[in-house]
Each structure stands twice: as C-alpha cells, then as structure tokens.
Amino acid sequence: MSPHESSVKQTRTLRHQIPCTILWLSFTAMVCLACGRPAPEPIVKVEPIDAQAFRELLQSGQGQPLLVNFWATWCEPCRQEFSILDELAREMGDQVRFVGVSVDSPDKVEQVEEFLTAQQVSFPQYIRAEEDDEVFINAIDPGWNGAVPSTFVYDDTGARARRLTGQQTRESLVAVIESLLPELTAEDKSSDY
C-alpha cells in the first residue's frame, strides 16, 4: 500500500470514528445527567403540627384510644422502635389510632419524609411546627422534658392514660394498648399481636 493510499484509508477511518465517538460521548453525558437528576418525591408526606392542631388531634378521638409517638431522625432508639410501632399500627390500627410526631426541626421535613418513605410507614406522621423546642414541649405536656422516644397514650375520650419515655418493647406497648381496650376478651388478649 502506498503512503497516499494509507493516508486515504486513515481519513476514511477517522471520518467513521469521529461520529461514533461523538455519539458515544453524547450518550455517556446523557447517562451521567440522568444520574444527577433530583430524587423522586417521597411517598410519605408529613404535616406540620402545632399546639392547637395537637389539641384538635386529641379531640378528634373517634371513640378510639390514641398512641402518639414522639421521635427524631437523629435518635437511634427512635429508629429502632419505629419498626415495632409500624408493625403494631398495621395489626391493631382498627382498634387504636397511631400517630407519629417528629421533633426534628421544621426545616428538616425532607429528611423526615425520606426516612418515613424508607420505613414504608403505615400511620399518619407530623413534624413539629414550632421553631422553639421549649414552646413545643410545653404545649404538648409541661411535665415532659422533651426526651425521645416518648410515647403518649390517650384513652377513647382523649385523656392521657400513660406517658412512656425511652425505647419501648413490643410487649410493653401491647400491654399499655390492651389496658385501654376493655372490650377484649381473654381469648383476644392471648392472641399474638
């Protein structure tokens, strides 16, 4: 092959390679851009709750006991307890209302929603609306120091029956819930919740 023929062949090869290279780079760039797109909207949405909304929640009892769990995304015991609460809400939700309230700062709503979505939570969730921790804590219960996890259990009239501070076991939660369900027979109480 002469030097001229070799040069022509290289030119033809380059003409073919350049479009292929450009096409490959374009495809790669699109894939990289797709990876950097914003995350999809969380499935679980939380609503802000203030003192007035909390009182309304208690009054809307619908004749059922209410379990309110105060938790935070940064609290490891809260995170560990969460699966137990969700399991109980799925099993006993027809007898007791379950509600979660994140005490995370109101500006952490996206972080809270991401956690709840990952947990596939089955019961309503709120986030404190108050910026000031003390205002929120005192509005819920002036005797509460704000420790989390804390679970407040209310009877079917909306009166507080128990305040449980610290991580709870399945058994301790079931015992408190069952104590508020007088219509359960001995047979029902012995079933596996």
Q: For 103-143, how does the pLDDT look when each residue is reduced to its tens digit (9 = 90+)?
A: 999 999 999 999 999 988 999 999 999 999 899 999 999 99
Mean residue pLDDT of the chain comes to: 81
Least Cα distance to 108 among 75, 134, 141 occurs for 75
Shared domain for 173 and 103, answered yes or no, is yes
Residue 29 pLDDT exceeds 60: no
Shared domain for 10 and 96, answered yes or no, is no
Q: How confident is the model at residue 44 (pLDDT cuts 50, 70, 90)?
A: confident
Tokens 């704000």, residue located: 146
20 is a domain residue: yes
Shared domain for 28 and 99, answered yes or no, is no
Shared domain for 1 and 51, answered yes or no, is no
Shared domain for 100 and 25, answered yes or no, is no
Shared domain for 13 and 61, answered yes or no, is no
Shared domain for 72 and 27, answered yes or no, is no
Shared domain for 13 and 57, answered yes or no, is no
Provide the residue range defining the domain that includes 129.
Answer: 47-189
Whole-angstrom Cα Rg for the chain: 28
Shared domain for 60 and 31, answered yes or no, is no
The number of domains in the chain is 2
Both structure tokens of 139: 């509005």
Shared domain for 171 and 144, answered yes or no, is yes
61 is a domain residue: yes
DSSP class per residue in 2-31: -HHHHHHHHHHHHHHHHHHHHHHHHHHHHH
Q: How confident is the model at residue 5 (pLDDT cuts 50, 70, 90)?
A: low
